[in-house]
Amino acid sequence: MGQRRGDGSLFRADAVLTPSPSFAALRAAFAWQLPERYNIGVDACDKWAQADPSRLAIIDVAADGRARHHDFAALRAASNRLANVLALHGIGRPGAAATGDRVGVLLAQRFETAAAHLGILKAGAVSLPLFTLFGPDALRHRLVDSGARAVVTDTAGATAIAGIRSDLPALELVLSIGGAVPGALDFDAACAAASPEFTPADTHPDDPAILIYTSGTTGKPKGALHGHRVLLGHLPGVEVSHDFLPHPGDRFWTPADWAWIGGLLDVLLPALHHGIPVVARRFEKFTAEGAFALMREQGVRNVFLPPTALKMMRRAPPELAHGLSLRSVASGGEPLGEALLAWGRDVLGVTINEFYGQTECNMIVSACGAVEPPVPGTMGRPVPGHEVAVLDATSGTRRPAGVDGEIAVRAPDPVMFLGYWRAPEATLAKFVDGPDGRWMLTGDRGVEDDSGRLRFIARGDDVITSGGYRIGPAEVEDCLLGHPAVRLAGVVGKPDPLRGTVVAAYVQLHEGSAPSPSLADEIALHVKTRLAANQYPRVVRFVEDMPMTVTGKIIRAHLRQLAEAEAAAEEREKP
């Protein structure tokens, strides 16, 4: 039995899921446990540095292919040096009851990025992941909203911050890898002068650890504040989606940036928790050729590939996959279809396990090919330790199997956020009290089938109601991608005077394919004959560039604006 919190819930600490023949057996054998004191930096770094200091931690691959190998002893020393630098400047955990100072990490995948997050967490501060492609407005919003006191970055990031420094009154310290620049100290010199020994902050699992902002497809991004327990909460989902991680010889990589929850908490920190080496290589521009080469050259065995990356790799010559040594592939963010699953089996030699979650509560649903074959169109079952249901969002009552509603997670849950940063009303609106408990609403619509598998339909505002039918865009998009001319597809509803809304498809073509009315008709017919007559796009528009979030998701809100503007223009032109 594990430790019990004040609310009576059990949390899991360090156990690994035992392979079982069914999800029911997995759930029956599972119990959460949580130590009285817990710090991510100690768990993901120091425990290995003490037990096996020469164990490989990070393989840092440069753009020219040269790789630097760093063991856990080096990771501990580097993170401790940074923690000491922060302490020297009075940055860390101001008091046992106070939220730690926020420290931004504005770096791409590299050894120093991992060391920075771990050092910040060991210092008792709150790590604030920042994406290197953020423009000044995105950086300003996150740094101002969080009240960040320090940022760890490189010379490019320090220069970008210098341009908005006058808007950041709370920011006191910028550390720049690669040398000092105006307004920033030399990271390497500061750390070299600091001690490699540091006593980590004595933190509780619920103490704030990571402030990660939502991708913000609509409105200003909100900061989701997570406690140190968030890493423990991720472990079952990561283990299931990678066919019972860890196995001897496992080695992790993802093209997803570590500034996002998918890179940081689905890959980097869980891998380090298990002592699995992580390949650090963030491509300036993702290509299928580059991904295949990296995985082959670095002996990658476990990979998280977002759906967009999978779709691009599927279009590449299959011989590029020769020589891979993959054991597990996981994907999440958008539903996968039968075509991608079949390609994974035929070309990658593995079953791609789809998983589901969001910044506020991640890795809560997953498929697991080691337990059962995937069912196309479903995203798997609730991961052991998480109770996920489809609810009526107003009453909090469960929907029957086959009836769509809002996907929700029972609270409390160790992977669940502590709340939105300085936004108590938004936090409160995220929850509903039902007859059988308190639930966190995801904002996503889904349906549970008779076997207990969950199917994602759409974001709540993405569902298309046309002629009395409710249509989820993901299924239509997947069908569109089966057309040989279609590279990317986004589907939204376009206002229509007769049907209320019609399905509108925005399509980016492959090179060599030219937009034309006949091709639009051919694409629409492709869906009509392969999916359903009520789901085919009555409007097909060609776009040169698909609007995407920095995490690789199609921004349907932007496409809706295009569709609504077109409908309004057509209405004005009527006699």
Mark whether 172 and 102 lie in a shared domain.
yes
In a domain, 448, yes or no: no
pLDDT of residue 217: 40
Give the span between the Cα atoms of 354 and 381, in whole angstroms.
10
- Measured CA to CA in angstroms, residue 114 lies from 22, 40, 418 at distances of 35, 12, 23
In a domain, 275, yes or no: yes
Q: What is the pLDDT along the chain (575 residues), one digit of tens a residue?
A: 233 333 333 334 455 788 989 999 999 999 998 889 999 999 999 999 999 999 999 999 999 999 999 999 999 999 999 999 999 999 998 876 678 999 999 999 999 999 999 999 999 999 999 988 888 888 998 999 999 999 999 999 999 999 999 999 999 999 999 999 999 999 999 999 999 999 999 999 999 999 999 854 445 789 999 999 999 999 999 999 999 999 999 999 999 999 999 999 999 999 999 999 999 998 888 899 999 999 999 999 999 998 878 988 998 999 999 999 999 999 987 788 888 999 999 999 999 999 999 999 999 999 999 999 999 989 999 999 999 999 999 999 999 999 999 999 999 999 999 999 999 999 999 999 999 999 999 999 999 999 999 999 877 667 787 765 667 787 788 889 989 999 999 999 999 877 778 999 999 999 999 999 999 999 999 998 877 677 889 999 999 999 987 667 788 889 999 999 999 999 888 87
Mark whether 236 and 377 lie in a shared domain.
yes
In a domain, 404, yes or no: no
Instruction: Give 193's contacts (C-beta < 8 A, 6+ positions apart).
Output: none
CATH number, domain of 552, equals 3.30.300.30
| Residue among 403, 381, 382, 383 nearest 392 (CA) | 403
pLDDT of residue 1: 23
Mark whether 378 and 475 lie in a shared domain.
no
Mark whether 271 and 370 lie in a shared domain.
yes
In a domain, 405, yes or no: no
Mark whether 520 and 371 lie in a shared domain.
no
Mark whether 483 and 362 lie in a shared domain.
no
Mark whether 156 and 221 lie in a shared domain.
yes
In a domain, 455, yes or no: no
CATH number, domain of 199, equals 3.40.50.12780
In a domain, 435, yes or no: no
Mark whether 138 and 208 lie in a shared domain.
yes
pLDDT of residue 470: 62
Instruction: Among 362, 395, 422, give the residue marking a domain's end.
Output: 422
Mark whether 115 and 20 lie in a shared domain.
no
Mark whether 314 and 181 lie in a shared domain.
no
Instruction: Among 227, 247, 262, give the residue marking a domain's end.
Output: 227
In a domain, 288, yes or no: yes
Q: How far is CA 475 from the centre of its chain?
A: 21
Mark whether 251 and 370 lie in a shared domain.
yes
Structure tokens at 474: 């993901």
Give the span between the Cα atoms of 479 and 470, in whole angstroms.
17
Buried b (16+ CB within 10 A) or exposed e, 77-101: bbbbbbbbbbbeeebbbeeeeebbb
Mark whether 355 and 473 lie in a shared domain.
no
Number of domains making up the chain: 3
- Measured CA to CA in angstroms, residue 286 lies from 216, 257, 335, 493 at distances of 22, 11, 20, 30
In a domain, 529, yes or no: yes
Question: Please, are residues 431 and 438 in contact by the beta-carbon 8 Å criterion?
Answer: yes
Question: Please, are residues 353 and 241 in contact by the beta-carbon 8 Å criterion?
Answer: yes
Instruction: Among 192, 227, 262, give the residue marking a domain's end.
Output: 227
Residue numbers of the domain that contains 481: 461-573
